[in-house]
Amino acid sequence: MKTVIASTIILLFFLAACSLGATDSTLAPSASATSVTILSEATIVRTEVVATTTRVADATPDVATVPATSVTLEVVTPTSQVTDTTPEVAVGQATVVVATSGSGSVSVPLTSIPPNATSPPQPTPVPPTPIPTLSSGLSPTVLKYRILDEFPSMFYCDPDYYPIQQGDEMALALQRFPELQANQEEFQAILEHSGLSGLTTFSDEQKLLIYREHKRLAAVRFEPSGDVYLFELQIEESARQGSFIKGFIDGSGAITVQERQAIYLVCPICLAAQTVIDTPDGQVPVEALREGDAVWTVDSTGARVAATLIRTGSAFVPADHQMVHVVLSDGRELWASPGHPTADGRVMADLKTGDLLDGSTIAFLEQVTYDQPATYDILPSGATGLYWANGILMGSTLFQAQTG
């Protein structure tokens, strides 16, 4: 077990002024992770270790100040208490010793980062399991590459930049690389496609290349259905104009297109489905509006006036796309992507409880996972591009694209 645990623990220690304490932890049977993460001078943010037969559960201590040179991390296995988990911390070097009942111990080096270093970026979540394979034929990733060869101008929104920027792409690539390697089916297909087959060590630039290929492949919606895969993607045909493609591919790589729909290409910084827009004819769901329809907008003097929709847009989103849910003190509420603009030039991700939005105080704010396949936006004619969504005056991403 010693070698298994050693190979699955990833430790990150960031030396800066911070704090730590200890609390009990219980094992969630469905939990799955492969890392121990320590940030900011022994603040344990999340602690999970997965071995072949023993899983160390999540342990998140309460906050209490401790010396910079020592910290005790307590974790629990399904059958036994971890008897000794004491990282001895010193600038430039550190070691964590994990001893489990009847299993010996293992020492894992802990990397120290200078106090003035930038805090590590948060990675884009990795799908929990690889795509199931068909009973016969080519592997899922090879088939995805067949689709990308058929539609080389695929349009997608990089999840590290939309709906908001997640951090430095190179840093994210290096952080994610062990997880990408763990999905050997996809990893080996990327190596072959990228001319890197046979390599066992990789430069930072090669890791970035592999990470970018992973993101591109993830943009193809892919789902097994009987003896084929159903797929969806968007392709770019001219500036911001393209098509939504839907079809299936069999195990031999034969592609059948079932649907091809003209769309305006925009990244998902838009409104949730079923958001209602104020129009002279009453409130209408945003996804039902079309170019030429009438909506209410605001002119350059601030007056409410009728306008014609000059553009509508939708963007297909990944399964883990996040939306900001905001509730105002007067009862109005809205779901929109973190990057969607407000009427006063902010974006949804900037909002905080207690802020004003369209003349009312924000009473509640949260980020939630979006359960619909697409987000939507509209652009009224006029000088501002503003409109009312669920009764809240908002900006338009399409207006920003047009003026930017």
For residue range 200-254, what is the model confidence (pLDDT) as tens digits? 999 999 999 999 999 999 989 899 999 999 999 999 998 778 898 999 999 999 9
Spatial separation of the C-alpha atoms in residues 335 and 273, rounded to whole Å: 9
Neighbours of 169 (CB within 10 A): 17
pLDDT for position 164: 59
pLDDT for position 317: 76
φ/ψ bin of 183: left (φ > 0), alpha (ψ from -120 to 50), beta (otherwise):
beta
Of 16, 23, 24, nearest to 42 (Cα)?
16
Spatial separation of the C-alpha atoms in residues 107 and 115, rounded to whole Å: 24
Give the CA dihedral 76, 79, 84, 87, nearest 10 degrees.
Answer: -40
Span 312-347, pLDDT tens digits:
888 777 667 789 999 999 999 999 988 899 999 998
pLDDT for position 105: 38
138 - beta bridge partners? none
Neighbours of 118 (CB within 10 A): 10
Tokens at 83, concatenated:
């008897």
Does the model's pTM come out above 0.85?
no
Residues in the chain with pLDDT < 50? 1-122, 124-129, 404
pLDDT for position 165: 65
Of 290, 268, 284, nearest to 374 (Cα)?
268
∠ CA 367-223-256, rounded to 5°: 130
Tokens at 92, concatenated:
């430039």
Spatial separation of the C-alpha atoms in residues 40 and 46, rounded to whole Å: 12
pLDDT for position 268: 62
Spatial separation of the C-alpha atoms in residues 72 and 29, rounded to whole Å: 25
